[in-house]
Amino acid sequence: MKCFNEESFKVFDVEGLDERMVAIRANIQPIFAEIMAEVSARLSDDVGYETFVHIAQHRRRTRYAPENTWSAISDNKRGYKSQAHLQLGIWDNYVFMYLSIIDNPAKREQYADYLAEHHEFPDDFVYSLDHTKPEFFSVTAGVEKGIQRLHDVKKGEFEVGRIISRDAKIWQEDPQTYILETFKTLFPLYQHLNA
């Protein structure tokens, strides 16, 4: 199975929208396709229905090169942002594996209510409150406030999972297994939120 390497991170050093998109298509999207096909197959087995892989194409961009890129899995063939979904993405200094609730989905408040009651995450998990920014926080510090913000703020977002920093030792060991195990940990949450 293909996986990220130093060349994947160097994509974000490429100047210019068109040039960076060429690099993303060549060096990152094939990795997304392979890993997420495996994750989707495993998730479908777990939940008992078909799931679909979506890879960000950044088509609306006309000027600025993307600072990150991602792929997603949902049970909607046409898109993923309308529901809680799984994301695998990359910034210039880390890769993330998240369960994501972004862009004001219809069940945002219900998602927040469920998470408020069921937020026992592994200690090495992190959360993000804005998918457009690279900041993340440990789930051991203020995750309840993040969930409450998802409930109360119309444009509130919440993503939770793991990251692998660019300089992590895991890249020389077995990153594929780590990525797949992280998503498997998120499967039950995905299933409950989308029931």
Architecture per CATH, 6-194: 2-Layer Sandwich (3.30)
Residues with Cβ within 8 Å of 8's Cβ and at least 6 positions away in sequence, in order, are: 27, 28, 31, 90, 95
* pLDDT given for residue 97 in this prediction: 98
How is the chain split into domains, by residue range?
6-194
pLDDT of residue 119 exceeding 90: no
29-39, pLDDT tens digit by residue?
999 999 999 99
pLDDT of residue 62 exceeding 90: no
| pLDDT averaged over every residue in the chain | 96
